[in-house]
Structures are given as structure tokens and as C-alpha cells.
Amino acid sequence: MSGDIITVRETGRNLAKEEDFSNNDQTFIATAISEIARNIIEYAQTGEIQIDLVEKKKLYGIVITSRDEGPGIPDIKMALLDGYSTGKGMGMGLPGAKRLMDEFDVTSKVGVGTTVVMAKWKHSEG
């Protein structure tokens, strides 16, 4: 399972590199993907992560969408607080990923699953 995290993380990093994102943004994207993938494995066991290149209102970026059919998040606001964890982690997954990305949205329904959509926009150099 940790191989799945490495694979999706590297896919995101490589796509960001191919699209000339800064080295920092490449790292931010890869790290955010890792955090979300770890949450899927820890809480839902299975899920999917989709990585897309997008253009929106003259912004060009990468959107990462993760979906699972796990237990869901009863209190999203609480789950986005640093240090809050219902599992064995340090509570850095969701809030950490949110800090690294330009846009971040979580929807979840208890007993149904969770979807996280996050975007990193390519910023003009100079």
C-alpha cells in the first residue's frame, strides 16, 4: 500500500515538473498528495486519486481529486484543525495538505465516504 502512495506522489510531482511548476510547488503538490493518500489508506483502505491539468480564468494548474468510500468525516471543521486526529497520526494530513495548496475543499458524509479536491495554480515567474 505504501507503494501506491509513492506512485501517486511521483506521478503528481512529475506532471508538475513537466508543466514547469517551480521546485517548491512540485514539492508542495507531492507532499499534499502523500498526506491525502495516507488518509485514504488509514481510514478507508481503498480509494482513488485523480490528477488533472486545468485552466480556469487564465489560471493554469493541477487539480487533485481523491475519493473514498470510507467511514466519512463527522466534523470537517474539526478535522481541518492542526493536531486533531481520530487515528494514530499527528493530525497534520488534511490541514497540512490545505496549507500547501491554493484551493482545498473537503466533502464527506458519515458512512458514505470523503472527497477532497485541491488545486495548485502555476504562478508567473517574474
Question: Is the per-residue pLDDT at 2 higher than 60?
Answer: no
Sheet containing strand 103-109, strands side by side: 47-56, 59-68, 113-121, 103-109
Structure confidence at residue 89 (pLDDT): 54
Nearest of 72, 62, 66, 70 to residue 102 by alpha carbon: 62
Question: Tens digit of pLDDT for each residue in 90-123?
Answer: 446 899 999 999 999 999 999 999 999 999 999 7
Query: pLDDT tens-digit profile of 86-98?
Result: 665 544 689 999 9
Tell me the three cell numbers of residue 126.
517574474
Task: Give the pLDDT band (50/70/90) at residue 4.
Answer: confident
Looking at residue 85, its pLDDT comes to 66
CB 19 within 8 A of CB 120: no
Q: What is the mean pLDDT of residues 66-73?
A: 95
The answer on pLDDT for 124 being more than 90 is: no
How large is the average pLDDT for residues 14-42? 95
The Cα 46–Cα 7 span in angstroms is 15
Task: Select from 108, 120, 73, 78 the least CA-distant residue to 95.
Answer: 78
d(CA 12, CA 8): 6
Domain locations in the chain?
A: 2-121
2-121 CATH choice from 3.40.190.10, 3.20.20.140, 3.40.50.720, 3.30.565.10 = 3.30.565.10
Residue 61 one-letter amino acid: G
Average pLDDT over residues 27-52: 93
Residue 7, classed as helix, strand or coil, is helix
- Residue 126 clears pLDDT 70, i.e. is over it: no
Give the Cβ contact number of residue 25 at 10 Å.
23
